[in-house]
Amino acid sequence: MSEDKKKQNYSADSIQALEGMEHVRMRPSMYIGDVGVRGLHHLVYEVVDNSIDEAMAGYCDVISVIINEDNSISVKDNGRGIPVGIHKKEGVSALEVVMTKIGAGGKFDKDSYKVSGGLHGVGVSVVNALSIHLKATIYREGKVWEQEYSQGKALYPAKVVGETNENGTIVTFKADDGIFQTEIDYNYDTLSMRMRELSFLNQGVTISITDKRRKDDEGNFIEEVFLSTEGLTEFVKYLDASREQLTSEVIAMEGEKNGIPVEVAMVYNTSYAENLHSYVNNINTHEGGTHLSGFRRGLTHTLKKYAEGSGLLKNLKFDIAGDDFREGLTAIISVKVAEPQFEGQTKTKLGNREVSAAVSQAVSEMLTDYLEEHPDDAKIIVQKVILAAQARHAASKAREMVQRKTVMSGGGLPGKLADCSWTEPEKCEIFLVEGDSAGGTAKQGRDRNYQAILPLRGKILNVEKAMQHKVFENEEIRSMYTALGVTVGTEEDPRALNISKLRYHKIVIMCDADVDGSHIETLILTFFFRYMRELVENGNIYVAAPPLYLVKKGKNREYAWNDEDRDAIMKKFGGGTIQRYKGLGEMNAEQLWDTTMNPEERTMYQITIDNAAEADRVFSMLMGDEVPPRRKFIEDNATYANIDI
Ligand code: 0RA
């Protein structure tokens, strides 16, 4: 091929590639979900997933993620290195194909067993398209190769820049601020959480994260190194660190059924919460799917059979339901599926039918073995199940009361609710306010057209430690159900949540900005997380942020939400007096409106669950029995450091 011809080919190909890349830039949300904070962080996960694939193929055991000072990200691995040879069909290096062709990721090498694949399995080329600059450095077969790109376009063909006796890949990218509707500023905790999770899911792979934007007291960059030697067993122990384990060991299995790798770890604890977390190809399947239903079926079937055979159920006067087998259960189910079909609202529900039987069989086999080998544990589990069934019967009565008292079924709204006058839920907000006095101020300060106020008296019930029927009997909790128009229980499923009549699309928790307030805030959040999780997942839950200080000098007044702002205002004013707001009650109605309730001015945090497993761990720690971790956590004043807000 003549030099000219080559060039032509090259440009023909790159035009085609460009079309794909242009599409990514025109419709980024189609590829990465959104162009907010979440989408930004997904870029990192997408690149890391490529290295994880290499690790899963058995060629890589160290992956490093670096947040550089300029908020670019480097992901480095010690795998084989992305191939750099000329790709026959495309006429450019395989590296360039991977980096600039949509969906080329695994396709050009059919033999590589690619099962991971990022949020939407879109590949690193999507990250490239959405980066103002990306550099790939490949250590392979004695040479160091390099290629750079801008907005997905190669700046030059891959070239040799040095020699090496190492192998691996480094991808450094800077997200394009013209694409994202958020500052290009990564949250260390969010990334670190995901790396920890990946290390549990990929036993034996060392995954480190370094933040070059910040140093610790000794002058070293903030850094964590994760390496899990026990995999899911360790994950379950980590999640249940603040819970009391019921059985002597974590029940764990790993195997392959019908060509589907299945891994499960589970343990019973003394709590009443069910904590199942499921993964497909390292992706958290929040909405569950066939692997989760397979797990449930295997568990119920096996435990039921064992319990019946053991004679422990002899004098039982009521039935045992599927739920009863999962009370106080923490479990992780991780499967690898070659061609996963994701369904559901957030595309996190596994649809592949064949997976259900594979997981169910795997669970039955492992659990049967475990129960036979551990008769003492087996007895403890069965007794726990019986207790759960008893409690469920008590709860169903209490739940009926919640149902009967809701708006739709004719009962009135709670007396202390100051409702708004508009009735379109999408325009309406409800403030859940700590205490009657702050509730009164909020009532005066609000815009009564679309803002409702529900004062909650003192500390609400800690649902983490309470049995279900206590939760449904609790007056403050009942008033929340009624005011919100949320009901529990349908014909088919007595525990199903019905949010179709939700009366307000924004539910704002408004508490004092002190330790007590933050505790109450956490109690309310725990309730939503455990009993109305769909609202959290749908983004309906917010936390109000009242100011901490009012700085006054003469006629000048300004509010401050933290110490730095306070100091800056003092400096600007050239001194002044500082009023510290200890509670909402110290503000008058106008001040509360101006700072905390007026949509034009206020700061509120939307609560989302980026990482359900971690959120679960945090809630169990904050609200569970063990006091020391909770104290430390609250003292660190990072009540939801691990919940993306
Ligand atoms: C396909 C084939 C080969 C390596 C890779 C993909 C690979 C991709 C990435 C992405 C990040 N790190 C990576 N490491 C490796 C190698 C094929 C061969 O050497 O025979």
- Considering only CA atoms, which of 156, 151, 126 is closest in space to residue 45? 126
Within 10 Å of residue 157's Cβ, how many Cβ atoms? 12
Give pLDDT, residue 379.
Answer: 93
**pLDDT score for 111:** 37
CA separation for the pair 253, 233 (Å, rounded)? 9
d(C-alpha 400, C-alpha 388), whole Å: 18
Q: Give the span between the Cα atoms of 622 and 629, in whole angstroms.
A: 7
The predicted pLDDT at position 493 comes to 72
Amino acid at 236: V
- Annotated catalytic residue: which of 53, 429, 434, 476? 434
pLDDT digits (tens, 9 = 90+) for 428-483: 999 999 888 899 999 999 999 999 999 998 668 999 888 888 888 888 999 999 99
Beta bridge partners of 136: 147, 171
Q: Is 434 a catalytic residue?
A: yes
> What's the confidence (pLDDT) of residue 222?
96
CB 407, CB 413: distance < 8 Å = yes
pLDDT surpassing 50 at residue 639: no
| Ranges of each domain in the chain | 23-226, 232-392, 406-546+582-609, 549-559+562-580
590 catalytically annotated: no
Tens digits of per-residue pLDDT, 135-144? 999 999 999 9
Instruction: Tell me if 517 sits within 8 A of 581, measured CB to CB.
Output: no
Q: CA end-to-end span of the chain, whole Å?
A: 56
Q: 10 C-alpha vs ligand 1 centroid, how far in Å?
A: 23
**Class of the 232-392 domain?**
alpha beta
Of all protein residues, the one whose alpha carbon is nearest to atom 4 of ligand 1 is 82
> Is residue 7 over pLDDT 60?
no
Q: For residue 638, what pLDDT is reported?
A: 36
Quote the CA–CA distance of 379 and 252 in Å, as a whole number. Answer: 18
Residue nearest to ligand 1 atom 10, measured at CA = 50
- Per DSSP, the three-state class of 610 is coil
Å from CA of 229 to ligand 1 middle: 24
* pLDDT average, residue stretch 358-380: 94
Q: For residue range 223-260, list pLDDT tens digits in order.
A: 999 999 999 999 999 999 989 999 989 999 898 999 99
What gap in Å lies between CA 29 and CA 382, rounded to an integer? 47
Ligand 1: atom nearest CA of 124 is: 10
The pLDDT tens digits for 300-356 are 999 999 998 988 888 777 888 888 999 999 999 999 998 899 998 778 899 999 999
CA of 83 to the centre of ligand 1 (A): 6
Which is catalytic among the residues 512, 558, 614, 644? 512
pLDDT > 90 fraction of the chain, expressed in percent and rounded: 63
CA distance 537 to 38: 13
Whole-number Å distance between alpha carbons of 335 and 323 = 23
pLDDT band at 145 (very low <50, low <70, confident <90, very high): very high
DSSP string covering 486-549: -EE--SS-TT-EE-TT-S-SEEEEE--SSHHHHHHHHHHHHHHHHH-HHHHHTT-EEEE---SE
pTM of the predicted model as reported, rounded to 2 decimal places: 0.81
CATH of domain 23-226: 3.30.565.10
For residue 504, how far is its CA from the centre of ligand 1 (angstroms)? 50
Measured between alpha carbons, how far is 595 from 559 in angstroms, rounded to an integer?
8
pLDDT for residue 199 is more than 60: yes
Query: In angstroms, what is the span from residue 57 Cα to ligand 1's centroid?
Result: 9
Q: Across all residues in the chain, what is the average pLDDT?
A: 87
Calculate ∠ Cα 456-460-390, nearest 5°: 130
pLDDT in tens, 267-293: 999 988 899 999 999 999 988 999 999
Pair type for strands 349-350 and 342-343: antiparallel
Best residue for ligand 1 mutational test, from 44, 45, 49, 50 (most atoms within 8 Å of Cβ): 50
Residues in contact with ligand 1 (CB, 6 Å cut-off)? 50-51, 54, 77, 79-83, 109, 112, 169
Lowest mean pLDDT among 145-149, 276-280, 420-424, 576-580: 576-580
pLDDT digits (tens, 9 = 90+) for 382-428: 999 998 988 888 887 777 766 655 544 445 788 899 999 999 999 99
Mean pLDDT of 529-556: 91
The Cβ of residue 516 has, within 10 Å, a number of other Cβ atoms equal to 15
- Residue 567 falls in the annotated catalytic set: no
Q: Which helix (H) or strand (E) holds 174?
A: strand 168-175
Q: What is the pLDDT of residues 42-93, one digit of tens each?
A: 999 999 999 999 999 999 999 999 999 999 999 999 999 999 999 888 889 9
> For residue 222, how many other CB atoms are within 10 A of its CB?
15
* Phi, psi angles (nearest 5°) of residue 250: -80, 135
From 112, 124, 125, 137, the mutation candidate for ligand 1 (largest count of ligand atoms within 8 A of CB) is 112
DSSP one-letter string for 375-423? HHHHHHHHHHHHHHHHHHHHHHHHHHHHHHHSGGGTPPPPTT-B--S--
Instruction: Point out which residues pair with 245 in neighbouring strands.
Output: 269
CA distance 322 to 301: 9
Q: What is the pLDDT of residue 393?
A: 82
Catalytic residue flag (residue 512):
yes
Task: Return the ligand 1 atom nearest residue 79 CA.
Answer: 14
- Which atom of ligand 1 lies closest to the CA of 168? 14
Fill in the amino acid letter for 590: E
Q: What is the pLDDT of residue 629?
A: 56
Class level of CATH domain 406-546+582-609: alpha beta
Ligand 1 pocket mutation pick from 78, 82, 109, 126 by most atoms within 8 angstroms of CB:
82
What's the pLDDT score for residue 1?
A: 43
CA of 206 to the centre of ligand 1 (A): 18
pLDDT of 2 = 46
Distance CA 421, CA 474 (A): 27
Who contacts 512 (Cβ-Cβ below 8 Å, separation ≥6)?
Answer: 434, 438, 520, 546, 582, 583, 584, 585
Q: Is the pLDDT of residue 185 over 90?
A: yes
- From ligand 1's centre to the CA of 78, what distance in Å? 10
Helices H / strands E in the chain, number of each: 19, 26
Is residue 434 classed as helix, strand or coil in its secondary structure?
A: strand
Task: Catalytic residue, from 514, 534, 565, 586: name it.
Answer: 514
The first and second tokens of residue 468, run together, are 């279900």
Instruction: Give me the pLDDT at residue 318, please.
Output: 80
Cα–Cα dist 594/601, whole Å: 7
CA distance 75 to 140: 16
Question: What is the band of 612 on the pLDDT scale with cuts at 50, 70, 90?
Answer: confident
pLDDT score for 632: 56
